[in-house]
């Protein structure tokens, strides 16, 4: 099939690269805002089918090539935003240096493709894993005779997301970004609120009710249990924080924010640390098996004729490319530490950890899908291991030790994210009869296309909104939760001050969560408590988790309406496709509008450049009503599928 049907055509390459860059920008905004990214293969496949139809009709393999390259938008964005903003948070960079971001993201992404190629045969052909998103993408491609309804859903939802974002606080200020309230009941500090973001509703719809319950439960633990306890009984242990709170008067919302920022969010750090280590430990047998089979496949010579549908990139050229890609990274590390006895071990750690964790990422993607792949846990483990080695080489007081560890983690994070994504795409290609080497090459092109635009997008967002913990200049900054965590971990390993008691308590909470999840697994329960999802909920503000939970609740109501609550995953995925496309449209529309809004803010130097007169600022109730309408439209799209 693949020898007769067009695949890697110029129009498919160009469309794929453009979509990859657009979706990378959208995922960068979403990840910095909410700590989550979404898989982009299916929306890209739907857009591809529509665009190529206008251009005279596209083959199923051309559409597969487009979604393969475009799917790099989520993986490169995740690899970058989970790590590189840590260099800003550590005050090593004051802005995102284009050449460095391009080298880290581009070369990391290319290495991710190379490291994952030997795993294809073992994980997809010989001992196949499910790869749920790869299967879903293949089904979309096979059913692509009429992509029109899907494109209409995407476009409608993107317009809604864009309009609401434009009306919100960073745009016209017709409605606020949040609806939050707080107060005191005796000594108890009460807090509740929700962000008014359509994108977060969409994220919740996509991740489903189980994960939605877990993340909001983590935030409730932080804001409605831990913060009130700390305020009532332990505030005197930190005189500086107590003085700041006294100066805030009786503003319960401000007080809760101060306690969360200074203390309670580190419970999430501890939970993420223990969760990342547990993820790797629990996968130890599967990881070793995956690496062995990958190495076995790599050693097989191509003596006999290989079918076009089973032909990977040639091993000889892969090894040459590996050397070519690693040399610039070694020079980059040398530019940081100025010691070859340190930069060479850094490069070796990066290569070994890269291949190891690409295998982990690929296996996890095969089991639970790329969207649920705990790449942040993999990166934490990399930074911890790299930090231990660098402490021995540089000393614990080294001013550049934390930066060096982040640089290693950034490359590995990009490689791991792209590696897992590559196997999903290859699974889809395997099911539709594509040529593996052409997909692998297209993913390289897509990954590098994304890397080209990451630094400008990050600089724009940083200048307009701020990245990292809130500051007086940017009180509502993009929190970049994973990058803030990476900075905290690296800084703590090199003499930085961290609230270790809170991190320790968070680790205990993570251990209890793991035990609960294992107990549920042993009982055969369909409800699970993934520790990294709980940790993200603990770490992020409650107002971000509430709309995610509400979106997940909408997905459950859709299942109830369609009578598929107890159906198998394939049936649910097919039934949810209209709602998933609507959610993806909300996310993409809001995220791209957020980036466009940043342009006049940066050019003018004024955060209120688009704001309408204060008489047209309508407050929280109107904002809540708007989000309710969006939620209803999302529910209706999912409950009355027209595809």
Distance CA 428, CA 435 (A): 11
Output Rg (C-alpha) for the chain, integer angstroms. 24
- Please give the full DSSP string across 420-449, using - where no structure is assigned: HHHHHHHHHHHHHT--HHHHHHHHHHHHHH
- Under a CB-based contact definition with an 8 Å cutoff, are residues 77 and 28 in contact? yes
Give the burial string for 340-364 (b: 16+ CB within 10 Å, else e): eebbebbbebbbebbbbbbbbbbbb
Q: What is the pLDDT of residue 523?
A: 93
Low-confidence ranges of the chain (pLDDT < 70): 1-4, 127, 132, 143-147, 279-280, 283-306, 364, 367-374, 377, 496, 641-643
Q: What is the pLDDT of residue 308?
A: 75
Residue whose tokens read 């393969």:
68
- Under a CB-based contact definition with an 8 Å cutoff, are residues 46 and 581 in contact? yes
* Beta carbons within 8 Å of 140's beta carbon, 6+ residues apart: 42, 45, 46, 577
* Segments in 144-197 forming alpha helices (H): 148-167
- Under a CB-based contact definition with an 8 Å cutoff, are residues 71 and 39 in contact? yes
Global pTM value: 0.78
- Under a CB-based contact definition with an 8 Å cutoff, are residues 351 and 326 in contact? yes
Q: How many CA atoms lie within 13 A of 640 on its CB side?
A: 7
Give the residue among 456, 136, 468, 439 at the shortest CA–CA distance from 313: 439
Q: What is the pLDDT of residue 549?
A: 94
Distance CA 193, CA 319 (A): 53
Token pair recorded at residue 255? 């007080």
- Under a CB-based contact definition with an 8 Å cutoff, are residues 478 and 465 in contact? yes
Distance CA 346, CA 324 (A): 17
* Beta carbons within 8 Å of 153's beta carbon, 6+ residues apart: 578, 581, 582, 585, 637, 643
């Amino acid at each position: 099939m693949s020898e007769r049907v067009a695949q890697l055509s110029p129009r498919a390459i160009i469309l794929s690269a453009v979509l990859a860059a657009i979706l990378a920008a959208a995922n960068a905004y979403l990840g910095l805002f909410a700590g989550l990214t979404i898989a982009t293969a299916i929306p890209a496949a739907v857009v591809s089918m529509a665009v190529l139809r206008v251009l005279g009709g596209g083959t199923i393999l051309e559409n597969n090539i487009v979604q393969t390259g475009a799917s790099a938008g989520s993986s490169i964005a995740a690899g970058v935003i989970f790590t590189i903003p840590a260099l800003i948070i550590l005050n090593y960079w004051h802005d995102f240096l284009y050449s460095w971001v391009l080298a880290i993201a581009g070369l990391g992404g290319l290495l991710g493709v190379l490291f994952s190629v030997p795993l294809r045969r073992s994980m997809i052909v010989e001992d196949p894993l499910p790869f749920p998103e790869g299967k879903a993408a293949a089904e979309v491609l096979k059913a692509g005779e009429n992509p029109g309804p899907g494109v209409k859903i995407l476009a409608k939802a993107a317009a809604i997301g864009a309009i609401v974002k434009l009306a919100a606080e960073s745009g016209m200020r017709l409605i606020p970004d949040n609806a939050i309230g707080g107060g005191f009941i005796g000594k108890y500090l009460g807090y509740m609120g929700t962000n008014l973001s359509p994108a977060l509703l969409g994220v919740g719809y996509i991740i489903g009710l189980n994960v939605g319950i877990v993340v909001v439960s983590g935030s409730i633990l932080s804001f409605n249990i831990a913060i009130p306890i700390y305020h009532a009984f332990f505030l005197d242990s930190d005189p500086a924080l107590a003085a700041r709170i006294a100066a805030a008067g009786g503003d319960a919302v401000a007080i809760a924010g101060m306690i969360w920022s200074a203390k309670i969010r580190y419970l999430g750090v501890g939970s993420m640390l223990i969760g990342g280590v547990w993820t790797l430990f629990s996968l130890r047998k599967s990881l070793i098996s995956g690496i062995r089979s990958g190495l076995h496949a790599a050693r097989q010579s191509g003596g006999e004729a290989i079918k076009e549908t089973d032909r990977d990139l040639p091993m000889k050229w892969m090894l040459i490319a590996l050397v070519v890609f690693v040399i610039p990274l070694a020079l980059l590390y040398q530019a940081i530490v100025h010691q070859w006895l340190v930069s060479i071990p850094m490069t070796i750690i990066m290569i070994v950890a890269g291949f190891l964790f690409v295998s982990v990422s690929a296996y996890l993607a095969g089991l639970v899908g790329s969207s649920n792949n705990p790449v942040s846990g993999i990166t934490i483990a990399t930074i911890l291991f790299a930090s231990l080695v660098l402490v021995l080489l540089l000393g614990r007081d080294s001013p550049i030790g934390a930066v060096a560890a982040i640089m290693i983690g950034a490359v590995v994070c990009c490689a791991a994210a792209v590696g897992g994504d590559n196997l999903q795409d290859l699974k889809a290609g395997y099911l539709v009869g594509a040529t593996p080497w052409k997909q692998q090459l297209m993913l390289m092109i897509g990954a590098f296309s994304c890397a080209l635009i990451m630094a400008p997008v990050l600089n724009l967002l940083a200048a307009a909104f701020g990245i990292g913990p809130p500051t007086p200049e940017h009180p509502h900054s993009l929190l970049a939760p994973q990058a803030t965590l990476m900075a905290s971990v690296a800084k703590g390993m090199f003499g930085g001050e961290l609230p270790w008691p809170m991190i320790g308590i968070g680790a205990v909470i993570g251990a209890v969560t793991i035990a609960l999840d294992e107990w549920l697994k042993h009982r055969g329960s369909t409800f699970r408590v993934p520790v990294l999802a709980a940790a993200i909920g603990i770490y992020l503000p409650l107002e971000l988790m509430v709309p995610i939970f509400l979106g997940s609740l909408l997905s459950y109501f859709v299942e109830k309406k369609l009578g598929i609550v107890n159906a198998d995953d394939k049936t649910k995925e097919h039934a949810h496709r209209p709602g998933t496309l609507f959610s993806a449209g909300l996310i993409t529309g809001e995220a791209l509008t957020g980036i466009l809004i940043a342009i006049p803010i940066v050019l003018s130097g004024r955060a209120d450049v688009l704001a309408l007169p204060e008489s047209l600022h309508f407050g929280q109730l109107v904002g809540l009503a708007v989000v309710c309408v969006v939620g209803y439209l999302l529910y209706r799209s999912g409950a009355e599928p027209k595809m």
